[in-house]
Structures are given as structure tokens and as C-alpha cells.
Amino acid sequence: VIEKRELVSLLRGATNLQAADCVGDALFLRAANTRSRAYGDAIYLRALIELSNFCRRRCAYCGIGAFNRDLGRYRIQEAALLAASKEAAACGYRTVVLQAGEDPELVGKAGSRLVASWIRRIKETGIARVTLSLGAPDGDALSRWRDAGADRYLMRFETSNPALYGALHPGDSLRARLRDIERLQTLGYEVGSGMLVGLPGQRIEDVANDVLLCRDLDLDMIGIGPYLPHPAAPLSSKSVPKEVSGSELIYRVIAATRLLCPRANIPATTALETRDRTAASSSGDRARPSVDAAGQLRALRCGANVIMINFSPQSVRRLYALYPNKATDLAGSEATIALENRTAAAGYRAAVDHVGDALRPQVDAR
Ligand code: SF4
């Protein structure tokens, strides 16, 4: 059992360490062992399809919030969605993740019926599990989508600090978000949530509380992303406190989360890959992201076990810009093959055709 004080000191250790110092670090080794006891050498792959970048919310950190009037907006057509789903199935994928901003045309009453019909049609393409990440919809959409065959839902709480949550999410509260997460669990979804690390206004104790909240919610999936300032987002002008700004902290958070939540699926996020790639290219060290010292492969070594591959139509990929410089060069089958090679070289097996359900019962973290 890891208590809050120990957790804070584990996380604090990260801010002073360089990547090379962490290779033999006990925290990372322990997390990697816990990961392999639960999942062996398998990395679960999910096909990600970004349905729409319309959003009615104004989250202060996000590049596609309603305040961004300069962004070209799109909503996918059904034919393009089914084509992307079929392409994923042909590559062997069993799970698709449908992601969008909180688009009124999808989360309102009429839109939720349309999404329900999409879920049914996607399952007819040979996809076994449909994950939704569409925000907090109106009315009974969550139960309608569950009845239509949706299996999983991702709804991040982003921060467990109620005041910070309120400041980042105008018109919303942490309490309401946690109520929605509980409702998802009651409806029988596999539920994913998670947080941003390195936010303006965040303290290391907040990050520790985020990890503890993930444990207390008994989540099936936990997404842990670095805060990447988007120039069009209101938060971009605010500075990040030193104690949460170190580039190593997020790896500590992933490892600690793996120890506290041994059975959860934990993605190695694209945002992390983007952050480390951007850091490497701005320092002139272009080779860095391709070795396992950074980005997604490093996250796998720290306890992550899932990677999402983008299957969104090429024409819209760059428009789904939650954060800047998102890597959109490789996608679909090309990205799958590249990832299989990368992970194999690092000693993992990309289990494309695994449905990748969260484990039950609990796996011990020792
Ligand atoms: S984080 Fe999600 S809900 Fe918030 S503005 Fe961005 S897309 Fe919309």
C-alpha cells in the first residue's frame, strides 16, 4: 500500500532526475514488473477515429474549445467513419475508439441516435469493442449508446483539485464530472478517466491526489497526459509551477499509477510522444524519440500497456488539434507496422488483434 506522503516523495524525486539516471530506478522497475505480471509482453493497440472537432465547451487548456474561432471545423461523414472502421478491422484491430469534442450535433438527442446507429454499424464491420470519448452528453445518451453496443467510455477528470478543476472548466464542476463517471460505471461500461500533468496552478500534492483518485475510482483505463500549451487556449499565457514542470515527472506518475492500479489499461499517449519529439527536435537531437529513452516506448517501460493508432481520414487529422505539433505523419496500417517494429525491437509484442479488456480480478502490485 502506498500512502500519500510516500507517493508525493516518489513524485518529487522525478523532478531532479535525468532520463539516463532513471534506467535502473526502483520505481520504474517495479512498475514494469507489475505491468508484465498483468499483461506479459503484450501491448494492446486501439484504432482511434476522431469524429468531430466541434466542441461546446471551453476547457482552458484545449486547442479545439469553442473559443477557438480560427480553427477549421469538421464532422465526419458516416461513409468515411465506416471506411476507417473497415480499414482498422482489415489491419486486425478488434477495438475502435471514437473521439470527438463535446459536439452538440452528436451529444444532443437527435445526434445521440445517430451515434447509436454508428455503433451498431461499426460492430457489423468485425470490430468487437467500441470505446467512446465524446464528452458529457445530454439526456439518456449514455444508456442509449450502451444499449447500442458501446463497451467502454473515456471521460477524464483532468485534475482532482476542485478549485483548479473549476478554473479550467468554466461552468463545470469536479463533482459533476465524478457523478458522470459513476454513472458510466453503473451502466456497465468499462470506464476510463485520467489527468493532465504539469498544469499551471497545479501542485505536486494535486498530482499525488490524482493518482489516488484513479485508485479510488477503480478505473479500467487511465490516461495520463502531459499538459501541452496550445497557443489559442486561454491557459497558454500562464506559467507552470517548477515542482510540476520537470519532463521526468510524468513518467513517475505513470509508474506510480501502475503500482496503485495494477489491472488498469494505461495508454502511452500520443501527447507524450509529441512532447518528447518536439523537445528532441528543438534541441537538434532528432534520434532521441526513436530510442526508448523518451515518449511512448519510455512510457511502456514505466508501466503503460496500450497505444492508440490514428485511423481518422487523412484530410481531418491535423484539425483535431487538442495541443500543438501533434504527430500526424503516420497513421492506419503504416503506423501499425511501424509500431510493431518499434515495440518488437524494445522487447514487446504489439497485440493488434487482442480485444484488450481490462483485467479482473485485481493483480497484486508487489
Ligand atoms: S478538452 Fe474536450 S470538452 Fe474540453 S474543450 Fe477540448 S474537446 Fe472540448
Q: What is the pLDDT of residues 39-53, one digit of tens each?
A: 999 999 999 999 999
Question: Which of 68, 102, 159, 172 has most ligand 1 atoms within 8 Å of CB, for mutation?
Answer: 102
Q: What is the pLDDT of residue 284?
A: 56
pLDDT digits (tens, 9 = 90+) for 198-212: 999 999 999 999 999
Q: Which three cell numbers stand for residue 87?
A: 480499414
Q: What is the pLDDT of residue 361?
A: 61
| Range list of β-strands (E), 33-155 | 42-52, 95-100, 129-133, 152-154
Q: What is the pLDDT of residue 24?
A: 41
Cβ-based burial of 5 (10 A; exposed 0-12, middle 13-18, buried ≥19): exposed
Between 366 and 356, the more confident residue is 356
Distance, CA of 262 to CA of 303 (rounded, Å)? 9
Percent of the chain at pLDDT exceeding 90: 74
Q: What are the distances in angstroms from CA 290 to CA 46, 154, 318?
A: 21, 29, 22
Residue 298 and residue 28 in contact, taking contact as beta carbons nearer than 8 Å: no
- The CA 204 to ligand 1 mean position distance, Å, reads 24
Residue type for position 100: A
- Is the confidence at residue 291, as pLDDT, over 70? no
- Ligand 1 surroundings by CB, under 6 angstroms: 55, 57, 59, 62, 64-65, 101-102, 135, 322
- List all residues 6 or more positions away from 34 whose beta carbon is below 8 Å from its beta carbon: 258, 259, 262, 303, 363, 365, 366
pLDDT digits (tens, 9 = 90+) for 79-98: 999 999 999 999 999 999 99
Q: What is the pLDDT of residue 132?
A: 98
- The region of weakest confidence among 102-116, 181-195, 265-279, 349-363 is 349-363
- The CA 65 to ligand 1 mean position distance, Å, reads 5
- The region of weakest confidence among 43-52, 147-156, 260-269, 324-333 is 324-333
- Is the confidence at residue 289, as pLDDT, over 90? no
- Is the confidence at residue 292, as pLDDT, over 60? no
Quick one: which atom of ligand 1 is closest to the CA of 169?
4
- Is the confidence at residue 120, as pLDDT, over 90? yes
Question: Which of 51, 56, 57, 99 has most ligand 1 atoms within 8 Å of CB, for mutation?
Answer: 57
Task: Give the single-character DSSP code of 23.
Answer: T
Q: What is the pLDDT of residue 277?
A: 79
Q: Which three cell numbers stand for residue 291?
A: 530510442
Q: Which three cell numbers stand for residue 321?
A: 488539434
Between 170 and 314, the more confident residue is 170
Distance, CA of 243 to CA of 253 (rounded, Å)? 13
Q: What is the pLDDT of residue 22?
A: 45
Q: What is the pLDDT of residue 8?
A: 93
How sure is the predictor about 329, in pLDDT bands with cuts at 50, 70 and 90?
low
- The CA 334 to ligand 1 mean position distance, Å, reads 28
- The region of weakest confidence among 8-17, 76-85, 160-169, 243-252 is 8-17
